Amino acid sequence: MLVWVSVGLVALALAIVAKWLAFRRDSLGRPRRFPVISVAVLLVSAVAVSIPTVLRLREEATLTRAATGLTGLRTLHVHCQTLGEAFVDAGGELGLVQFRPDGTPEPSTIIKRDQCGDLADYLGSDKTDPTLDQIVAVHVLTHESMHMAGIRGEAQAECAAMQRDAQTAMLLGASELAGTKLAARYWEDVYPRMPDDYRSWECAPGARMDERRPDAPWAPITS
Ligand SMILES: [Zn+2]
């Protein structure tokens, strides 16, 4: 939407320049001045209007690279919900991956607007002391990546994601220690408060869903 507003403003500026080129002298033969102010205002406005879109596309590229690093899938895409999409969104989930009728996942996810905002804040920080909202947002990216990798069940996706939150944080630029701490905080502070269908007794150290990864949230922090 904003892109089209931006394109419209550039088109208007070009139309004004074209009109000046076509009628460079007035009816008395005097040279007409180039409409510098109106063209400048239109072009500056076009740049200003396009900034949120450019920033969103940059963030989506960063998040997509992280999701690819997590899953090994080359063709997936992470989309950050736009303002217009958020306006008509009635869903309560923080991210979404659609599954096809044959049970395979679409290779794309929508991360909700607030969580993309938290991820942008996290990306812009030194990542040593993330807020709880930022920790949840990093986890949402991991969780939706697990869905894109083919895990459909919420408890299974949640458990696989918790064991990769440290990796996600590091793919987004955190140090190993900061990533490990982020994963541990999700496991300790957020996971116990998740709805029943997101939790499982089999998601615990030594239990069936434990993948015995060295960066699991329940692994001792060594550094
Ligand atoms: Zn899910």
- DSSP line for the chain: -HHHHHHHHHHHHHHHHHHHHH--B-TTSPBPPP-HHHHHHHHHHHHHHHHHHHHHHHHHHHHHHHHHHHH--SS-EEEEPPHHHHHT-----SEE--B-TTSPBPSEEEE-HHHHHHHHHHHTS-SSS--HHHHHHHHHHHHHHHHHTT--SHHHHHHHHHTTHHHHHHHTT--HHHHHHHHHHIIIIIGGGS-GGG--TTSSTTSTT----TT-TTSPP--
Number of structural domains, the chain? 1
> What is the predicted pLDDT for the residue at 156?
98
173 lies in which domain range?
Answer: 52-198
Provide the pLDDT for residue 26.
Answer: 86
Task: Assess if residue 139 is contained within a domain.
Answer: yes
- What band does 223 get if pLDDT is binned at 50, 70 and 90? low
- Confidence at residue 90, expressed as pLDDT on a 0 to 100 scale: 84
Average pLDDT over residues 170-185: 97
Structural domain includes residue 101: yes
Ligand 1 mean position, distance from CA 96 (Å): 7
Is there a domain that residue 186 lies in?
yes
Does the residue 47 lie in any domain? no
Q: Is the pLDDT of residue 25 over 80?
A: yes
- Confidence (pTM): 0.87
- Per the DSSP assignment, residues forming a β-bridge with 78 are 109
Q: Residue 143 C-alpha to ligand 1 middle, in angstroms?
A: 6
**106-138 pLDDT tens trace:** 999 999 999 999 999 999 999 999 999 999 999
Average pLDDT over residues 57-83: 95
Distance 147 CA to ligand 1 centre (A): 7
Cα–Cα distance measured from residue 69 to residue 182, given in angstroms and rounded to the nearest whole number: 18
**% of the chain at pLDDT higher than 90:** 85
The answer to the question of residue 38 being in a domain is no
For residue 218, being part of any structural domain is answered with no
Task: Tell me the CA–centroid distance for residue 183 and ligand 1, in Å.
Answer: 17
**Ligand 1 center to 188 CA (angstroms):** 19
CA of 110 to the centre of ligand 1 (A): 11
- 137's tokens: 């947002």
Is 124 domain-assigned? yes
Mean of all residue pLDDT scores within the chain? 94
In a domain, 176, yes or no: yes
pLDDT at 220 > cutoff 80: no
Tokens, residue 38? 């109106």
CA of 77 to the centre of ligand 1 (A): 16
Q: What is the pLDDT of residues 132-158, one digit of tens each?
A: 999 999 999 999 999 999 999 999 999
